[in-house]
A and B are shown apart, each in its own frame.
Chain A
């Protein structure tokens, strides 16, 4: 039961953070970050399983592997940006958090450029010149 482990870890970390926060808010922040990372790392194996399933499906559907790679990169960017934004927001820097999210969105759009280019090329090719 992974979920019990995760919840137990989160509860323990929360208590410890509550204890430290009185004395040292910086340590509390680092502890929160550390706990979040540990929880995510414990879950990343499961996400890899799901992604393996997606890759198999995509190979079955004969989707261009570049597309799947792009989509997976977009998910990765979303995860990292989300992580960073939440950590900074926990630290009380809401503006930096929103900038990180903005960067994530922009990078996702950049990642989507090849697909959009291919779409436009397809449409142009289909249309009689």
Chain B
């Protein structure tokens, strides 16, 4: 701003000096009035030049902006690619966040299940489903593989099984084998049902979203 002003003032001062020199340089007085008129016009032009410049620069600016929009299409495509890249990065980040959340949820589920039931969780997997419109995520499903702990829970289960056992042992050996497997499967189903219910209560999920696989202690080893 101050440079603009100083340049303007310098221009005016130098023009006035030039006018004075030219007045001195003139041969006679007859032409003096004409030259004075012209020099006065020049000085007025110099005084008005900032406004002039402002107007002209305004026009230039708009034209320049238009040109850039018109000719530099590459910049626009690069902008769109930048946007695409940012979208991709955003998606990657979302996926990473989702994965992290799934892992933590799985850890939590594992802990909770191990605390609540006397089972050993082999592996837990939590699937989440993110809602892009709302920007929220919810648990879509839980996969759980548990293994009953062999000591007291085995006893507890065998006690329940032994209650049932007399009812079942009626048939031949083969049926006994079958019933044992049935017993096992029923025990597994019982475990699965209980864990499923627990998870259903604690995570507010429907039953078909939870898949619990119970391994028999012998089978796991």
Direct contact of A and B (CB under 8 A): yes
Count, A-B residue pairs, CB within 8 A: 96
User: Inside 8 A of B55's CB, which chain A residues have their CB?
Assistant: 125-126
Classify chain B: how many residues form its interface, as a range: 20 to 34
Verify B14–A61 contact, CB threshold 8 A. Answer: yes
Q: Which residues of B contact A (CB under 8 A)?
A: 7, 10-11, 13-15, 17-18, 21-22, 25-28, 30-31, 34-35, 37-39, 41-42, 44-46, 48, 51-52, 55
User: Inside 8 A of B52's CB, which chain A residues have their CB?
Assistant: 122, 125-126
Verify B31–A104 contact, CB threshold 8 A. Answer: yes
Partner of B15, one of A63, A78, A108: A63
- Complex Cα distance A76/B107, Å? 99
Verify A126–B51 contact, CB threshold 8 A. Answer: yes
Closest A residue to B12 by beta carbon equals: A61
Output the residue of B18, B21, B26 with the most chain A CB within 10 A: B18
- Complex Cα distance A58/B41, Å? 15
Verify B42–A63 contact, CB threshold 8 A. Answer: yes
Verify B14–A119 contact, CB threshold 8 A. Answer: no
Partner of B18, one of A57, A105, A111, A118: A57
Any B CB within 8 A of the CB of A26 = no
- Complex Cα distance A116/B25, Å? 22
Verify B45–A115 contact, CB threshold 8 A. Answer: yes
A79-B27, A125-B55 in contact; A61/B21 too (CB < 8 A)?
Answer: no
Verify B38–A63 contact, CB threshold 8 A. Answer: no
Verify B41–A116 contact, CB threshold 8 A. Answer: yes
Closest B residue to A77 by beta carbon equals: B31
Shortest A81–chain B CB gap in Å is 7
User: Inside 8 A of B15's CB, which chain A residues have their CB?
Assistant: 58, 61, 63
User: Inside 8 A of A125's CB, which chain B residues have their CB?
Assistant: 52, 55
Verify B25–A108 contact, CB threshold 8 A. Answer: no
Verify B38–A115 contact, CB threshold 8 A. Answer: yes
Verify B22–A75 contact, CB threshold 8 A. Answer: yes
- Complex Cα distance A37/B10, Å? 38
Any B CB within 8 A of the CB of A28 = no
Any B CB within 8 A of the CB of A74 = yes
Shortest B203–chain A CB gap in Å is 71
User: Inside 8 A of A119's CB, which chain B residues have their CB?
Assistant: 41, 44-45
A54-B21, A112-B37, A115-B38 in contact; A60/B44 too (CB < 8 A)?
Answer: no
Verify B18–A58 contact, CB threshold 8 A. Answer: yes
